[in-house]
A and B are shown apart, each in its own frame.
Chain A
Amino acid sequence: MDRQRAVTFVLLLALVAVAVWGYDQYRQKNDYNVFLQNQYHRMFYELIDHVETIEADLAKAMVADSPQQNLVLYSDVWRQAFSAQEKLNQLPISHLTLSNTSKFLTQVGDYGFSLTRKNADGTPVSADDWSNLAELHNYAGYLAVELQKLRSSIQEKNISLGDLTREGSYIFARASDNLPNREFTRIEQEMVDYPTLIYDGPFSEHIQDIKPKGLVGDNIDYQRAEQVARDFLKGVNIQSIKKISNGNGDIKTYGLEVLAEGGNRIYIDISRKGGHVVWMLNQRDVDSVNISPTRAVELAKKFLEQNGYKNMVSTYSMRYDNVSVINFAYSEKDVVIYTDLIKVKVALDNGEIVGYEAEGYLKAHHRRNLPEPKLTADQAEERISMRLEIGREPRLALIPLENKDEVLCYEFQGTFGGDDFLVYINALTGKEERILKLLRSENGTLTI
């Protein structure tokens, strides 16, 4: 009797405990669910606001006539498009479905940015610009209407997370299909908030979507590629070479895997046209430091010369994992060509070249007719802010702009309040084209 009662008691207690636990879990799950839904809804509602504002701004831009008004409108388009894109990409909808809408928003933003710049330069809006503006305006309107439809169905049905995903996917898929099939150039903005790209030194972002100009020579077969790899890795005791995968990107390549002494693997891609080494990575771990960074730069330069790259000047370098990555730019008649970049990675234990990357060079390098500067260095210096204390003598450099044009500039190095800067003054027009900030650390110099 006693025993039975005790059993019942324990079971009851367990039941109550499980119920309490279960309820607690349920409540927590609900809280999270509601929290997430609120976040998504906020994203969604703000997205609609942004798209509506874009449409209105673009409409106003069609009739605005003063540069002051245009400046406000274009820069607002740019800002709104950026925010809209941020929010769109946080919605719980497959990125494959969203990709065209996302692209549209990026393009509107880029377009706003480039018009803002044009406006600042005093360049008038061209006929092409007017038709682009009209087209972007029309699509923004279409997108806003579609989004509003989704909103009203959300409000009517008191929609849940799953419904937002499902119905949203449908709307965005349809919106994507109706996107005007038109290619705008992607504009590289300098207001990047990812200082990662600074690793490359200035101006490395130019290499996307450019037809390779530096690929000279005839097509080669695989046997020849293997020979190129052997020549390139002269110091390495090669055990075997095998083909792993051909590359079919912007530069068509043969992809090789080299097995070196001690089981170490080296990967190397060689262009099918011309047989140039596009990149090489040696995965060897470097455990100690025996040579100085200066020596590493010398070794890297010598390596480039051995491989037929003369006239390369080292620009920026950084150290990590006991290796030094050195950035080289092509130089012609004392002008640093910042588009033609090669990176060389030197192991600081024995000076071996453990990495190489020439995509920038191979895509950008070609015979150029460099213009003569119209301004002297002193004249250019007058264009520089009084606040900047100028350091070493300026040098001439060719830099790429957002629209991928290349301009000849004087490169000034200077300091302000303990920070280092590079300022580029157009050698033909005197325009202040770009300002870069240098980040110095014992690991090397970076720019942003």
Chain B
Amino acid sequence: MKGGTILKKAVLVLMMVLILAFAFNIVYPLHFRRSVETATLYWGSTGEEVREVQRRLKNWGYYDGAVDGIYGPKTFQAVKNFQAKHGISTTGTVGPQTRAALGLPEKAADAYTPTRGVSSGDNVYLMAQAIYGEARGEPYIGQVAVGAVIMNRINHPSFPNTIAGVIFQPGAFTAVTDGQMFMQPNETALKAARDALNGWDPTGGAIYYYNPAKTTNRWIYSRPVVKVIGKHYFAK
């Protein structure tokens, strides 16, 4: 009899777990969608609005990083501090309430509005993700070098013509194939990405790199190596 109650309880618990699991499955994506609709700015957001937030936070002394349109760790902390001061719950994201407190302006329509859609922040973050995923254990210069390879590929006829095209080319980078690149890059990776985008190329024009300890591809060994940095061989 006693064993029976335990079993009944076990059944109850099992069923509850199942119900919860299914409910989570339905609720989680919904929550995700909603946050996109209200255009909340969060860690990883990029663009002109982020720049505006950074500009304001910097003017008011909450933020001491670069006004680069990339919502990184520093911006996150600055937003949290701002929220704490203004009695908004410290989420570290810029939702409607924080937005209002920051006083983000409405834009007026005009015949010709000055160009505003051009920014390079998205690319910096994307490249930093690729660098972080591929080479976070490498010396700093090795991280810049990975970014430089991406830049060299863009200009090379055998490869796609955009940063996203090069990074997401099927099979081109292991960290992209196994999803490792979708982590938040650290400050070092962001810095390396900026240096690479600004034209520093420690490799001298390499378009491939590999780790000889891990690579099984024979073809890659036939490419002339132009530089060795850390564990990576850079080749043309």
Contacts and interface: CB of A to CB of B under 8 A. Distances in A.
B185 interface: no
A279 interface: yes
A98 B171 CA distance: 11
A264 to B, nearest CB: 10
11 contacts: A2-B4, A14-B14, A90-B169, A94-B170, A95-B171, A103-B157, A196-B120, A247-B227, A249-B226, A283-B141, A448-B118
A248 B201 contact: no
Contacts of B28: none
B227 A245 contact: yes
A208 interface: yes
A261 interface: no
Contacts of A321: 65-66, 191, 194
A443 B124 CA distance: 15
A443 B14 contact: no
B87 interface: no
A13 B15 contact: yes
Contacts of A419: 114-115
Contacts of A446: 120
Interface of B: 1, 3-4, 7-8, 10-11, 14-15, 18, 21, 51, 55, 65-68, 111-115, 118-120, 123-124, 139-141, 144, 151, 154-163, 165, 168-172, 187, 191, 194-195, 197-206, 217, 219-220, 224-229, 236
Nearest to B223: A96
Closest 3 CB pairs of A and B: A249-B204, A106-B157, A418-B114
Contacts of A90: 168-170
Given A102-B157, A359-B201, A265 B139 contact: yes
Nearest to A246: B227
Interface in A419-448: 419, 437, 439, 441-443, 446, 448
A53 interface: no
Contacts of B206: 249
Interface string A318-350: 111110010000000000000000010000000
Contact of A10 (B14, B123, B160, B170): B14
The CB with the most chain A CB atoms within 10 A, among B1, B3, B123, B198, is that of: B198
Nearest to A247: B204
A443 B67 contact: yes
A194 B199 contact: no
A442 B55 contact: yes
Interface stretch (A44-52, A198-206, A303-311, A403-411): A198-206
A46 to B, nearest CB: 15
A249 B148 CA distance: 13
Interface of A: 2-3, 6-7, 9-10, 13-14, 17, 21, 82, 85-86, 89-96, 98-100, 102-103, 106-107, 110, 186, 188, 192-196, 198-200, 204-205, 208, 244-251, 253, 255, 265, 267, 269, 278-279, 281, 283, 285, 318-322, 325, 343, 355, 357, 359-360, 416-419, 437, 439, 441-443, 446, 448
Given A249-B206, A320-B68, A437-B115, A267 B141 contact: yes
B31 to A, nearest CB: 19
Contacts of B202: 255, 267, 269, 279, 281
Most-contacted residue by chain A among B11, B66, B172 (CB, 10 A): B66
B194 A248 contact: no
Given A13-B14, A103-B158, A96 B219 contact: yes
Contacts of A255: 202, 227
B55 A355 contact: no
Contact of A196 (B115, B163, B201): B163
